[in-house]
Amino acid sequence: MDDVLKRLREAPLPTALGQIDDAIIAAWSAEQRERAANSRILWAAALVALGLGFAGGSLSSAPAQAAPSLSPFAMTALAPSDLLDPR
């Protein structure tokens, strides 16, 4: 193992190792530009969604009403106790 490590230490460095800094900085810059573009797209989508929600809500003239409960424990007109009551 010592011989292998000695040969590895004495071997010349690859030439591409000197250029790795430029490649890393270029990739990092590209990633930052992509993040900035994605951020702008998300903000634009949020603004469009808010605008559509506001426009859709203001176009409705009927007041909002709660939907009937879908709970099996809610009292409805079809409950067995109401169906059997002769009132």
Using 50, 70 and 90 to split pLDDT, how confident is the model at 60?
A: confident
Compare 60 and 72 and report the one with higher pLDDT: 60
33-47 pLDDT, tens digit per residue, is 999 999 999 999 999
Mean pLDDT of the chain: 84
d(CA 79, CA 73): 10
- 3-state SS, 75-86, equals CCCCCHHHHHCC
